[in-house]
Amino acid sequence: MASMAAVEKKLLNSVHDRAVFRRRVRVLSEHLAQELGAAGTVLDLGCGDGSIAQAIMERSPGLSFRGIDVMLRPTSMIPVELFDGATIPAKDASYDWVTIVDVLHHTDNPGDLVAEAARVARYGVIIKDHLREGFAAYETLRLMDWVGNRGHDVRLPYNYLTRTEWRAIFDQVGLTPKSWREKLALYPFPASLFFDRRLHFIARLR
């Protein structure tokens, strides 16, 4: 049974990589590079294997990334430190920016982690996450989450928030959105009709 489960996970990861992951890295790195600017130090919170951070640095060589994650992948594109998922192992204002890409919906209390990110960021926090808005949004996001993360044993609480709930967290932490994008074009047509919609956002917060 164990070997069968491993084969299933490997197959799932392979399909997701070809169909979704490579395009996602390319598109998100374009958006995030625009938000970060040409130079600075960046902490990638929940960096995974560092693929997005590496793609951003290829576009903007003046940016320097380090990562933290609750799980260490077998290989990583950037230096990664293990952390407990609650307290960022860094002093106040240690980095120019903190990026949090599709991480907060994997937590029970996203506001706590946003507050920690704000603490260690000198200029601001950039968040890419989901919006529980529109027809069958929860069900669609849950499907995407399972396909993208089940093969990596990522924790899946499916904690998706509405636009209003996100704004409440930012207000509580004292962060102000300076940019907000919902048209990210993460999926090719016709998959975009179902999986893009307004289910995703990128916010640059100061």
Q: Is residue 66's pLDDT more than 50?
A: yes
Provide the pLDDT for residue 10.
Answer: 47
Paired tokens of 37: 């600017």
Decide: helix, strand or coil at residue 81. Answer: strand
Residue 84 domain boundaries: 2-205
Q: Cα 37 vs. chain centroid, distance in angstroms?
A: 18
The CATH number of residue 160's host domain is 3.40.50.150
Provide the pLDDT for residue 15.
Answer: 45
| High-pLDDT (> 70) share of the chain, % | 91
CA dist 59 and 172 (Å) reads 34
- Cβ neighbors of 49 (< 8 A, separation 6 or more) are 73, 75, 76, 77
Give the count of domains, the chain: 1
What number of CA atoms fall less than 13 Å from residue 101's CA on the CB side?
23
Confidence of residue 5 (pLDDT cuts 50, 70, 90): low
Buried b (16+ CB within 10 A) or exposed e, 56-72: bbeebeebbbbbbbeee
Where on the phi/psi map is residue 62: left (φ > 0), alpha (ψ -120 to 50), or beta? alpha
Confidence of residue 152 (pLDDT cuts 50, 70, 90): confident
pLDDT by residue (tens digit) across 43-63? 999 999 999 999 999 999 999
